[in-house]
Chains A and B, each alone.
Chain A
């Protein structure tokens, strides 16, 4: 992970043409290691959805009925 910040900046530059705007931006990009760790912890905990637009149906399924 030592080269993670440099690799991340290079990937962003290549894919989007966006340069690091400032030092806090560099630090926050480097902090993506925590995002990766959080996603790693979730691996295997849920199966992939067959119906990707189910959030709206979940709102309906779980909604308030009679207050």
Chain B
């Protein structure tokens, strides 16, 4: 039965469409893994088995009735518990929203439902999507399926763990500083942060008005392409979403990388990187080169400015959103959450305005210098081997723990400030048995190109189909 849960999302949808499997069988397969792995992983916050069974029954009836079927027909999913569904729990991973039920439904969730997917649960996450590790004071820490004492990455911790443990075929995450790519990397799955404005944020819990992104974590690049084809595109309910046409992302997955120019930054992204991570990246670059890509080592411009400006925007915006709770009930937050927001109140408004006003010029200058020479950038997603939950536990660790905690997202944050799309794929295992993530970033709206590179890599490697030890 659980073999069905090993299918990729696209294969699972095809199995339902062609009658090789029922939606109920997919649900049961995922549920069996959930019952086996979740006591160790703590990847969920709430579950709705009854509702999921009803949705599976309806999906199977639609197949029997030969009704038109969507791209995700009959596929059960669970999402980071910050995507609103009217009348359903949405905790945002916080005690402050323990019983909160929104009155609206997220556009991304609605669009996937329109294509036949259904939701069976809310997944664990960092409180208000604010840590890169997976710690959670209220609902318990989420644990890595490959080595449970180690971090899942965050903030979409449950999304990474649940996809890796075959508890769901895919999950929405959110990415303000790396929160899709980090759990994708640490849990060994594929996750894409789209271009800023590419996907509607309507009905997604806000953290940073200017840096938040909605995107998928799934087993393969093709799965991510399928979901992106459903959720991308302008949404009248989110005026900040781009009017840019949505290309056929799956059609771009040809496996042909001839002519692709890859840039590998020699500074910043490799600073303090661990040797096993560098070795895995070099092996991955060789795989991509064998498919026809060329690799150029290069120094990136403006990284001091990107780091300085990018480092304050989301902090100020998060502090603003949370000001009332920070006044009224600061102890409701984990220490690592409130301590990160607190300095946001001391950052002068002119610094914030300067950071935002220079975002456009910096992107133009960065793109002119970098993307005239290469098409994509490749870096480690996380430059170090995956640390333990204890090593990064600000709430209970010694002074200085915050630096190890913050170092986790050093390589992902720049692409949020620049607004560029970036995907993370698994490219190896570190000495502790935890996955190593390869980050591929491109120009604005280059999702098709970076997914094509990720897909080509996965055609020649098997890291993305390996099962974590938690499944036995």
Nearest chain A CB to B75's CB is how many angstroms away? 27
Interface string of B362-399 (1 = CB under 8 A from A): 11100110010000000000000000000000100001
B359 and A38 contacting across the interface, CB-CB below 8 Å: no
Query: Contacts A32-B347, A57-B360, A59-B419 hold; do A21 and B308 have CB atoms under 8 A apart?
Result: no
Query: Contacts A18-B327, A29-B343 hold; do A64 and B358 have CB atoms under 8 A apart?
Result: no
Chain B residue at minimum C-beta to C-beta distance from A9: B346
Q: Give complex CA distance A63, B364 in Å.
A: 10
Contact for B343 among A23, A28, A42, A62, CB less than 8 A? A28
**Within 8 Å of chain A (Cβ to Cβ): is B139?**
no
Q: Enumerate A3-39 residues with CB–CB distance to B below 8 Å.
A: 8, 11-12, 15-25, 27-29, 31-32, 35, 38-39
**Within 8 Å of chain B (Cβ to Cβ): is A61?**
yes
Nearest chain A CB to B352's CB is how many angstroms away? 11
B371 and A21 contacting across the interface, CB-CB below 8 Å: no
A54 and B444 contacting across the interface, CB-CB below 8 Å: no
Contact for B338 among A22, A52, A63, CB less than 8 A? A22
Chain B residues within 8 Å of A27, by CB: 339, 399, 402
Chain B residue at minimum C-beta to C-beta distance from A58: B360
Nearest chain B CB to A62's CB is how many angstroms away? 4
Number of A residues whose C-beta is below 8 Å from B?
41
Interface string of B412-456 (1 = CB under 8 A from A): 000000010000000000000000000000111110110010000
**Within 8 Å of chain A (Cβ to Cβ): is B125?**
no
Nearest chain B CB to A23's CB is how many angstroms away? 7
A28 and B326 contacting across the interface, CB-CB below 8 Å: no
Q: Give complex CA distance A39, B313 in Å.
A: 13
Chain B residues within 8 Å of A24, by CB: 335-336, 339, 394, 399, 401-402
B356 and A52 contacting across the interface, CB-CB below 8 Å: yes
A67 and B346 contacting across the interface, CB-CB below 8 Å: no
Chain A residue at minimum C-beta to C-beta distance from B312: A35
**Within 8 Å of chain A (Cβ to Cβ): is B32?**
no
**Within 8 Å of chain B (Cβ to Cβ): is A46?**
yes
**Within 8 Å of chain A (Cβ to Cβ): is B472?**
no
Chain A residues within 8 Å of B311, by CB: 35, 38
B361 and A46 contacting across the interface, CB-CB below 8 Å: yes
Interface of A, secondary structure class, is helix
A49 and B361 contacting across the interface, CB-CB below 8 Å: yes
**Within 8 Å of chain B (Cβ to Cβ): is A2?**
no
Nearest chain B CB to A65's CB is how many angstroms away? 9
Contact for A62 among B346, B347, B357, B444, CB less than 8 A? B444
Chain B residues within 8 Å of A16, by CB: 323, 326-327, 345
Chain A residues within 8 Å of B283, by CB: none
Q: Give complex CA distance A18, B339 in Å.
A: 12
Chain A residues within 8 Å of B347, by CB: 32, 35
Q: Enumerate B331-350 residues with CB–CB distance to A below 8 Å.
A: 331, 333, 335-336, 338-340, 342-343, 345-347
Interface residues in chain A, defined as those with a beta carbon under 8 Å from any beta carbon in chain B: 8, 11-12, 15-25, 27-29, 31-32, 35, 38-39, 41-42, 45-46, 48-49, 52, 54-64, 67
Q: A29-B343, A31-B343, A35-B311 are in contact. List 10 more A-B contacts (CB 8 A).
A: A21-B338, A23-B399, A24-B336, A24-B402, A32-B347, A35-B312, A54-B361, A58-B360, A59-B363, A62-B364
The 7 closest A-B pairs by CB, nearest first: A54-B360, A62-B367, A24-B339, A25-B339, A64-B446, A58-B360, A21-B338
Interface residues in chain B, defined as those with a beta carbon under 8 Å from any beta carbon in chain A: 195-197, 210, 242, 244, 247, 252, 304-305, 307-308, 311-312, 323, 326-327, 330-331, 333, 335-336, 338-340, 342-343, 345-347, 351, 353-354, 356-364, 367-368, 371, 394, 399, 401-402, 419, 442-446, 448-449, 452
A-B contact pairs, 23 of them (CB 8 A): A8-B346, A12-B342, A21-B326, A21-B330, A21-B331, A22-B335, A22-B339, A27-B402, A28-B342, A28-B343, A35-B347, A38-B307, A42-B304, A46-B305, A46-B361, A48-B354, A52-B356, A58-B363, A59-B196, A59-B197, A59-B363, A64-B442, A67-B252
